[in-house]
Amino acid sequence: MQKCGCAREAVERYGDMLYRICLLSLRNTADAEDAVQETFLKYVQRSHDFSSAEHEKAWLITVATNKCRDMLRYRTRHMTEREELLLGYAIEKEGSGILDALMELPEKYKTPLMLFYIEGYKVNETADIMGISLPAAKMRLSRGRKLLEEKYRKEYM
Amino acid sequence: MDKKLKKVADKIKMPEDMKERIINTCELAEKKRSNTDDNGGYIDVVSSSERINPRSQLIRTISTVAVCAVLIGGLGVAGVFLQRHRNAQMPSSEEIDELECKSLTFDDFSTFEYIFDAGDGKKGKYSAETYEKISDYLNNFNWGSELEEYEARPMYEDAEEPFYNINWTRGDTPPVECNIRIANDGFVTYTESMMDFENGSQKPLTDNSRCYKIDFDAFEGGIQDILSQEKSDPTPFGDFTTFDFSFSKDNNYYDKKNGEVYEKIADFLNNFKWGEEVIESEQGTTHQAREVVYNVDWQIGERFYYFYIDKDGQVNYGEGIKDNGTQAETIVDKRKYKIDFIDFEIGLAEIGLDIDSSSSDSGEEITSNDESITLSEDELIYDADGNYDFEANMKRIDQKIEKYLESFEDLRIEVSIEDENQNELVPDDEQSREQLEIFLKNDFESMLKYDYSMYDSTSEGKYKLIIVKYNYMSGDKEVFYKAYTVVNNNSVVRSDCKRGSGVDEWHGPYPFEIDYNAFITKLSEFGL
């Protein structure tokens, strides 16, 4: 994999995916932009090469989800920040209830659901990216799915 | 629903202008990196993960300007601008020299003990090493000039939560309580108070109050840098791998003698999310007796520590000192936390701890009374164990079912309801059908109460019945089935079936109680 001169290519290739993950996680377009930007900055400044495109993609997702987690932790600790709840993202209003329900889930369920259902990762890959055990990933997916279904049906249908 | 989720999420695209901004910033960083490599690492400022072109904050703009300054001027010195913006108010080395010659804004923090409360729940419990760094930071921080009276805000006038509090006692007679309150809008208020001998209250010494205005982000950035280096314990109770503790549930005790299991418990306790301390006012004033499920205790030197967890997930922590002479115990700290009890139990189950049986050996088969079959860990064979009450047995059974079902990634549930003649009851309109499905999936089972006394095998055929069926599907295959037969004498009987490869395993009947009239009323809402 190329080390330098790859910013545009990488943003074009993975920008939408990372933005989706960060936006759903942070629920705020400006923060999502910051998280994606920092992810790509880390990407262009990294000192190693990737063994494959999948490795590259998984690395980017890991960095982005870690960044989101840090930002959420900061936000929780510093409750002053007002959340502009997802006013700026461009998706059709119709059918967005499922996303609203997803965004309201705790992070530990939201991330595996995003990786599994939206990004199409397998359970073991989801576990690897999140740095958790396979049973834990299964458990979180299962509970997350249940919570999502309950929340969606109760609040958004 | 899963497909819908993907379909809707896939519509989220990064706006083109945002994409361009990010590309520009990254290309800038790439160029910077390239120049750095060419210059043998002369400039290495951009290699940090500092935001280079973040939005919506003035300080972010300053960072961007700093990047340009480095690029245009090509001077390593310009890299100073790229230092974390939180250090903006930190004095330069020349200024430090100067500072050392003049008096400090406050007392020299390295010369007395104080509590630095960062509002992170630790109440200033940091290591001596961290305190040393904090003292250095506070002593060198540029607090600015004291504000004139009209600029200063009276203490507690605003509703802003103070983000940082520094407290210490000056050893005058009587002692003077000193406080520095640093609010998130940058106002710093220094106050002193002394005990009033007439009524015992703390009386402010207003003449000594002072107020400053600082760059809060700069202050916080530096402090967070220091606190982030703190090698903190993984839990609010300490690091369970560094001391010997005992863990118990009911009559099951685990301590160091249990070897691997004990180590797993220590890791589990260290990694469990205990959350923030629950402050007293949030807990209400009721002090009802709670059913304690788990107990953990340990001792370090003269200090003893314990916490217990009740069924509601409330964790009560205590810390005390035991006098070796008198054996008297004095509690010095008490805290409460609220955890997700189910997560806790699931976590214990995941490390192989049998949270339900009286045996610590989770693989052991448990024989039970003549009403039951056997319980095995490897297969889904279960029934009531005579050593436990009915409710405990049912909870264990339900947990095992849940665990079994979780192994199917594509699990979906199909629900249906039938009358006693096995005719399916279907509401007329689409909305009612949907609402009925929601009710059966989410609410019906919460109407049931475990009650062994409700079971009457002779009741069959005497009463009116309604049957609620749950079919658990993986792909096109049914992997589990359970059916509740609701009888109009308020009793319910559940039968389960695990669909194996070739042989189905039937279990039950499990009796429950229900308010039949409430159930029928609920069904009538769907037109049934």
Rounded to a whole number of angstroms, the CA Rg of chain B reads 33
Q: What is the mean predicted confidence (pLDDT) over B153-167?
A: 63
How high is the pLDDT of residue A14? 92
Which chain A residue lies closest to B13 (C-alpha atoms)?
A16
Our CA-based measurement puts residue B472 at a distance from the nearest CA of chain A, in whole angstroms, of 14
Tell me the pLDDT of chain A averaged across its residues.
78
Query: What band does B130 get if pLDDT is binned at 50, 70 and 90?
Result: confident
- Residue A127 identity: A
DSSP β-ladder status, B176-183 and B162-170:
antiparallel
Whether A1 shows a pLDDT value over 70: the answer reads no
Q: What is the mean predicted confidence (pLDDT) over B128-138?
A: 88
Question: Which of B19, B29, B409 lies nearest to residue A11, judging by beta carbons?
Answer: B19
pLDDT digits (tens, 9 = 90+) for B479-510: 898 999 888 778 888 888 888 766 677 777 77
Query: What band does B205 get if pLDDT is binned at 50, 70 and 90?
Result: confident
Query: What band does A19 get if pLDDT is binned at 50, 70 and 90?
Result: very high
How high is the pLDDT of residue B100? 39
Q: Confirm if B385 and B368 have CB atoms less than 8 A apart.
A: yes
Q: What is the mean predicted confidence (pLDDT) over B409-435?
A: 87
Of the candidates B388, B359, B346, the one whose C-alpha atom is nearest the C-alpha of residue B371 is B388
CB contact (8 A) between residue B23 and residue A7: yes
Q: Does B411 touch chain A (CB under 8 A)?
A: yes
Set of chain A residues whose Cβ sits within 8 Å of the Cβ of B18: 19, 33
Q: What is the mean predicted confidence (pLDDT) over A29-38?
A: 90
Question: What is d(CA A80, CA B161) in angstroms, rounded to the nearest whole number?
Answer: 9
- Residue B257 identity: K
In this structure, which topology does domain A93-157 adopt according to CATH? Arc Repressor Mutant, subunit A (1.10.10)
Set of chain B residues whose Cβ sits within 8 Å of the Cβ of A140: none
- Tell me the count of A-B CB pairs closer than 8 A: 142
Q: What is the mean predicted confidence (pLDDT) over B513-523?
A: 89
pLDDT digits (tens, 9 = 90+) for B361-385: 333 333 333 333 333 333 333 454 5
In the stretch 75-104 of chain A, residues with CB closer than 8 A to chain B read 77-78, 80, 89-92, 95-96, 98-99, 102
How high is the pLDDT of residue B2? 65
CB contact (8 A) between residue A91 and residue B6: no
Q: What is the mean predicted confidence (pLDDT) over B184-211?
A: 77
Max alpha carbon distance in chain B (Å)?
98
Inter-axis angle of helices A134-155 and B341-350, to 10 degrees?
A: 150
Q: What is the mean predicted confidence (pLDDT) over B517-526?
A: 90
Set of chain B residues whose Cβ sits within 8 Å of the Cβ of A135: 350
How high is the pLDDT of residue B162? 59
How high is the pLDDT of residue B233? 77
CB contact (8 A) between residue B19 and residue A142: no
Q: Which residues of A58-68 are buried (b: 16+ CB within 10 A; e: fewer)?
A: bbbbebbbebb
Tell me the pLDDT of chain B averaged across its residues.
72
Residue B34 or B105, more confident: B105
CB contact (8 A) between residue B23 and residue A90: no
Query: What band does B355 get if pLDDT is binned at 50, 70 and 90?
Result: low
Question: What is d(CA B343, CA B340) in angstroms, rounded to the nearest whole number?
Answer: 5
Of the candidates B343, B336, B338, B306, the one whose C-alpha atom is nearest the C-alpha of residue B321 is B306
Our CA-based measurement puts residue A59 at a distance from the nearest CA of chain B, in whole angstroms, of 16
CB contact (8 A) between residue B14 and residue A16: yes
Question: Which of A91, A139, A154 lies nearest to residue B8, judging by beta carbons?
Answer: A91
Q: What is the mean predicted confidence (pLDDT) over A74-103?
A: 58
Q: What is the mean predicted confidence (pLDDT) over B237-243?
A: 88
- Residue B168 identity: W
Which chain A residue lies closest to B34 (C-alpha atoms)?
A4
Report helix, strand or coil for B121. coil
Look up residue A155 and give its two tokens.
Answer: 């609040």
CB contact (8 A) between residue A139 and residue B33: no
Our CA-based measurement puts residue B463 at a distance from the nearest CA of chain A, in whole angstroms, of 33
Our CA-based measurement puts residue B49 at a distance from the nearest CA of chain A, in whole angstroms, of 7
Our CA-based measurement puts residue A89 at a distance from the nearest CA of chain B, in whole angstroms, of 7
Q: What is the mean predicted confidence (pLDDT) over B233-246?
A: 87
Whether B206 shows a pLDDT value over 50: the answer reads yes
Our CA-based measurement puts residue A41 at a distance from the nearest CA of chain B, in whole angstroms, of 6
Query: What band does B151 get if pLDDT is binned at 50, 70 and 90?
Result: very low
How high is the pLDDT of residue B29? 81
Q: Does B362 touch chain A (CB under 8 A)?
A: no
How high is the pLDDT of residue B278? 82
Q: Does A40 touch chain B (CB under 8 A)?
A: yes
How high is the pLDDT of residue B198? 67
Question: What is d(CA B15, CA B421) in angstroms, rounded to the nearest whole number?
Answer: 59
Whether B478 shows a pLDDT value over 90: the answer reads no
Whether B170 shows a pLDDT value over 50: the answer reads yes
All CATH 1.10.10.10 domain ranges in chain A, comma separated: 93-157
At a CB cut-off of 8 Å and minimum separation 6, what does B372 contact? Answer: B383, B384, B385, B386
Q: What is the mean predicted confidence (pLDDT) over A70-89?
A: 55
Query: What band does B388 get if pLDDT is binned at 50, 70 and 90?
Result: low
Question: What is d(CA B273, CA A2) in angstroms, rounded to the nearest whole number?
Answer: 40
Question: Which of A40, A99, A157 lies nearest to residue B22, judging by beta carbons?
Answer: A40
Question: What is d(CA B403, CA A11) in angstroms, rounded to the nearest whole number?
Answer: 41
Q: Does B526 touch chain A (CB under 8 A)?
A: no
Look up residue B332 and give its two tokens.
Answer: 């010095």
All CATH 1.10.1740.10 domain ranges in chain A, comma separated: 1-90
Of the candidates B417, B381, B416, the one whose C-alpha atom is nearest the C-alpha of residue B401 is B381
How high is the pLDDT of residue B166? 92
- Residue B174 identity: P
Q: Does B442 touch chain A (CB under 8 A)?
A: yes
H helices then E strands: how many in chain B?
11, 20
Q: Confirm if B447 and B514 have CB atoms less than 8 A apart.
A: yes
Calculate ∠ Cα A88-A92-A97, nearest 5°.
90
| Residue A65, CA distances (Å) to A39, A102, A113, B88, B234 in order | 9, 15, 13, 29, 21
Of the candidates B211, B209, B163, B154, the one whose C-alpha atom is nearest the C-alpha of residue B187 is B211
Q: What is the mean predicted confidence (pLDDT) over B271-277?
A: 87
Question: Which residue's structure tokens are 């630095």?
Answer: B116
Q: Does A16 touch chain B (CB under 8 A)?
A: yes
Our CA-based measurement puts residue A88 at a distance from the nearest CA of chain B, in whole angstroms, of 10
Interface test with B, best of A36, A37, A154, A157 (most B CBs within 10 A): A37
CB contact (8 A) between residue A19 and residue B55: no
Q: Does A36 touch chain B (CB under 8 A)?
A: yes
| Residue B498, CA distances (Å) to B376, B395, B483, B492 in order | 14, 17, 12, 20
How high is the pLDDT of residue B380? 32
CB contact (8 A) between residue B12 and residue A91: yes
Of the candidates A82, A134, A85, A84, the one whose C-alpha atom is nearest the C-alpha of residue A112 is A134
Set of chain A residues whose Cβ sits within 8 Å of the Cβ of B6: 117-118, 120
Q: Does B443 touch chain A (CB under 8 A)?
A: no
| Residue B263, CA distances (Å) to B245, B339, B495 in order | 11, 22, 39
pLDDT digits (tens, 9 = 90+) for B308-330: 998 888 898 988 887 776 667 77
How high is the pLDDT of residue B30? 79
Q: What is the mean predicted confidence (pLDDT) over A26-36?
A: 88
Our CA-based measurement puts residue A109 at a distance from the nearest CA of chain B, in whole angstroms, of 12
Whether A93 shows a pLDDT value over 90: the answer reads no
In the stretch 50-69 of chain A, residues with CB closer than 8 A to chain B read none
Q: Confirm if B41 and A120 have CB atoms less than 8 A apart.
A: no
CB contact (8 A) between residue A92 and residue B34: no
Residues B259, B261, B263, B266: what is their CA dihedral angle, to the nearest 10 degrees?
A: -140
Set of chain B residues whose Cβ sits within 8 Å of the Cβ of A37: 21-22, 25-26, 51-54
Residues B151, B152, B158, B161: what is their CA dihedral angle, to the nearest 10 degrees?
A: 120
Look up residue A23 and give its two tokens.
Answer: 């936006």
How high is the pLDDT of residue B200? 67
pLDDT digits (tens, 9 = 90+) for B135-147: 989 988 888 887 7
How high is the pLDDT of residue B60? 37
Q: Per mean pLDDT, which range of A80-89, B7-16, B147-156 is the poorest?
A: A80-89
Calculate ∠ Cα B111-B116-B121, nearest 5°.
155
Neighbouring-strand partners of residue B470: B415, B482
Question: What is d(CA A84, CA A23) in angstroms, rounded to the nearest whole number?
Answer: 12
Query: What band does B102 get if pLDDT is binned at 50, 70 and 90?
Result: very low
The pair phi, psi for residue B322, each rounded to 5°, is: -105, 130
The pair phi, psi for residue B42, each rounded to 5°, is: -60, -45
Question: Which residue's structure tokens are 């690091």?
Answer: B239
How high is the pLDDT of residue B373? 33
Question: What is d(CA A24, CA A32) in angstroms, rounded to the nearest whole number?
Answer: 8
Question: What is d(CA A65, CA A17) in angstroms, rounded to the nearest whole number?
Answer: 12
CATH label, A1-90, candidates 1.10.760.10, 3.30.470.20, 1.10.1740.10, 1.20.1260.10: 1.10.1740.10
Residue B116: Cβ within 10 Å count: 25
Q: What percentage of chain B has pLDDT greater than the value 70?
A: 67
Question: What is d(CA B317, CA B50) in angstroms, rounded to the nearest whole number?
Answer: 39
Q: Does B159 touch chain A (CB under 8 A)?
A: no
Residue B380 or B307, more confident: B307
**Residue B259 burial (10 A CB sphere; 0-12, 13-18, 19+):** exposed
pLDDT digits (tens, 9 = 90+) for A103-141: 888 888 889 899 988 888 888 888 888 877 776 777 778
Query: What band does A21 get if pLDDT is binned at 50, 70 and 90?
Result: very high
Of the candidates B365, B386, B361, B362, the one whose C-alpha atom is nearest the C-alpha of residue B374 is B365
Whether B150 shows a pLDDT value over 50: the answer reads no
In the stretch 99-128 of chain B, residues with CB closer than 8 A to chain A read 119-120
